[in-house]
Amino acid sequence: MPTRAKQKHKAKNPGKTRHGKVQPAKQKQLSPGKWFEKLVAVQARLRAPNGCPWDREQTHQSLRTYLIEEAYEVLEALDSGNDAKFAEEMGDLLLQIVFHSQIASEEGRFTVAEVIREIHDKMIRRHPHVFGETRAKDSAEVLRNWEQIKAEERRSNAGSGAPKAGAEHSKEASLLDGVSRALPATLEGFQLTRKAARIGFDWEDAGGVIEKMQEETEELKTALKTGDQRKIEEELGDLLFAAVNLARFLKTDPEIALKNANAKFSGRFRIMEKMARDTGREFKDLPREEMEAFWNAAKKAEGDSNLRERSGAQTKK
């Protein structure tokens, strides 16, 4: 069923189901493989002729939104510190893999067993320093070897005629191959610069990237004076790309950093709205100067709240 329609339940007792019933000891002792087989069987049953009408209507295309939503819900649960929630959301994400595999299996294209086999073989193939004779002195060397192995795999696939979804075989192989254009723009930029950095094409320090951002800011200002919308978009894109590169250099995921900034803005804006209502007015009706004053007050309130939380945590220790 659609994920946004499902009810969320907290696992209060690891020995109970979501509905509070005690799990039989035999079920609790099932191996991960057995549980996976049961999940695959459940999804096959839902897609069967006498199964669930909603599940039977779904296609790879219709499920794309849910796949993205579930990935973000996993990240949200990870940040929450709630392990029961984290485990639940990872289960929802796993279901998407099973769902897509079931659809493909019905069409005679591949099965979930092939999906697992592919990633199993790939992990062994790309870790020769663990499963083979190769040695890697540090993680940087592991990543260089990983990229080299991936490049060899691409050449091998191209030579064998094995097509890869979306691949343009007329183009020469590139170290940037494998970065999906379907990624959100920040993640695509993150992946592109990370791949380039792995072969040494990178800044010496963060200061160089910051200078680049300043340079791009000046170019954007120049474009603004011309009024050329295409040029403005280009220069703004260059500035955003530099910001993504800085995030990668600082070992920070730009998508998560921006998500946190979005949450911070949303929290402050809601505080301002409440402040306005407390004075008997709506925030949208305030003059710009008063909005700015409320923004500063919201920032202070947020800072005071964070300070109290930190003090409380230290007291508990």
pLDDT digits 0-9 by tens, 178-231: 788 888 889 899 999 988 888 888 999 999 999 999 999 999 999 999 999 999
Instruction: Average the pLDDT over each of 54-58, 141-145, 256-260, 273-277 and give the range with the smallest value.
Output: 141-145
Provide CB contacts within 8 A for 244, sequence distance 6+.
186, 189, 190, 193, 254
The pTM for the full model equals 0.57
**Measuring CA to CA, which residue among 68, 124, 73, 75 is closest to residue 96?**
68
Question: pLDDT over 90 for what percent of the chain?
Answer: 56
Q: What is the mean pLDDT of the chain?
A: 84
Quote the CA–CA distance of 36 and 102 in Å, as a whole number: 13
pLDDT-derived band at 12 (thresholds 50, 70, 90) equals: very low
**Measuring CA to CA, which residue among 116, 153, 146 is closest to residue 129?**
146
